[in-house]
Chain A
Amino acid sequence: MHPKTKLHLLYGAFGLMMGVTLSLVGFTDFSEVHKMFIFADFRLLCLFATTVGITMLGFAIVARKSSIPKKTFNRGTIPGSVLFGAGWAITGACPSIALVQIGEGKLVALFTVLGILFGVWIYRKLAAGGLQLDTGVCGEN
């Protein structure tokens, strides 16, 4: 198989697995996420913490000798994350969730997706226009 075809299939397969999992555990359910944020229910919080724990163990075993790229701190890290956190509380969606919600039939999440596209586009325009905040995003640095 051509390596590019293989990568397309791999990216697609991981998207599918992630979408199914996020939906089945309830991370796409606004009420569940809201209950997590107001500490009314610790199920999703446990899930997140345990995922980090198992991943830590996994990386320690399989990627001992690899140098996995690390994100670096810059002056956009905190204001950007604060903005993201507020948006997450309002829409119940982090960047993957809005798409999974559309698949679940919650069609209004299309507006969240349009918002995300608009936000990313504006940021890239500003960054290209000389705003010296460029960061290198998720998985790409």
Chain B
Amino acid sequence: MIDYLPWWIGALALSSIVIGFWLSIGRPLGVSGSWARIVMWKEDKTIEQAEAPFRANPEMLKDALMKATIQHFGEAAVYAALSRRGGKPVAAPADHPASMEIKATWTMHAAFLAMLAAGGLAASLMHGPVELRFNLDELHAQMFGSGIGYLMTLFVGGAMVGFGTQLGGGCTSGHGLSGCSRLVPASLIATASFFGTAVAVSLLIHFFGGA
């Protein structure tokens, strides 16, 4: 049995991570988004390449946007609108950290996910040599058996986590921490839904399933 850190130290550390992530990277922390980005790495590369000339030359983007606007609304309407504003373009909100300008690539998300595993390894090494296990723990093995059936359970459960977080728009970090801490309604509803379901399913397993 491992002695875990007191819950309040864990809470201090985790909240520092969530806030530090926002302060230094300029995006809310969210792990399921990272999964989406590495699964869609090819599309990510295509978009990156298509955007490259615009990033190198922001004027080109402005011109392209203006051309599309004129195409949509007609030249007369656009010039009328511009002259009403004195010809000044709308300024971007100034309160975003500078790194917002640089798009996070899928390789950054891959680095994040890979280092999560490295973190698990580092934490384990603090307790001593790492022991390789072929089940999550004894309780989990009691519930779901062994062999192919056990591995399939993990795979199907994992697929539910993957599909569910994409459909639900976030996970424990994005909805649960980043969202709930700002009382975002969608995140509160999502967190209540996934936590409530996890409680219900766990109680079912506890009372009716396994040993």
A residues adjacent to B (C-beta < 8 A): 3-4, 7-8, 10-32, 34, 37-39, 43-44, 46-48, 50-56, 58-59, 62-63, 65-74, 76-96, 98-109, 111-124, 127, 133, 135-141
Residues on the B chain within 8 Å of A118, using CB = 155, 158-159, 162
Find out whether the CB atom of A111 lies under 8 angstroms from the CB atom of B155: yes
Kindly identify which residue among A19, A87, A114, A119 contacts B118, using a CB–CB cutoff of 8 Å.
Answer: A19
Query: Which residue numbers of B lie inside 8 Å of A, CB to CB?
Result: 2, 4-5, 7-25, 27-37, 39-40, 93, 95-97, 99, 102, 104-105, 107-109, 111-124, 126, 130-137, 139-140, 144, 150-187, 189-191, 193-203, 205-206
Contact B19 A113 (CB under 8 A): no
Q: Which residues on A sit within 8 Å (CB–CB) of B117?
A: 19, 99-100, 102-103
Write the nearest CB–CB distance from A18 to chain B, whole angstroms: 5
With a CB–CB cut-off of 8 A, which chain B residues contact A109?
136, 154
Q: Considering the chains assembled together, what is the distance between the CA atoms of A48 and B181 in angstroms?
A: 11
Q: Are the CB atoms of B164 and A21 closer together than 8 Å?
A: no
- Nearest residue (CB) in A for B29 is A139
Question: How far, in angstroms, from A135 to B163 measured CA to CA in the complex?
Answer: 12
Q: Can you list 5 A-B contacts (CB < 8 A)?
A: A14-B29, A15-B118, A26-B5, A30-B139, A80-B169
Alpha-carbon distance between A84 and B108 when the two chains are bound, in angstroms: 25
How far does the Cβ of B42 sit from chain A's closest Cβ, in whole Å? 11
Contact A117 B151, CB 8 Å, known A7-B104, A37-B198, A91-B157 = no
Contact yes or no, B176 A80, CB < 8 A: no
| Chain A residues, Cβ within 8 Å of B190 | 71, 77-78, 80-81
- Smallest CB separation, B62 vs chain A (Å): 22
Nearest-neighbour CB distance to chain A for B45, whole angstroms, equals: 14
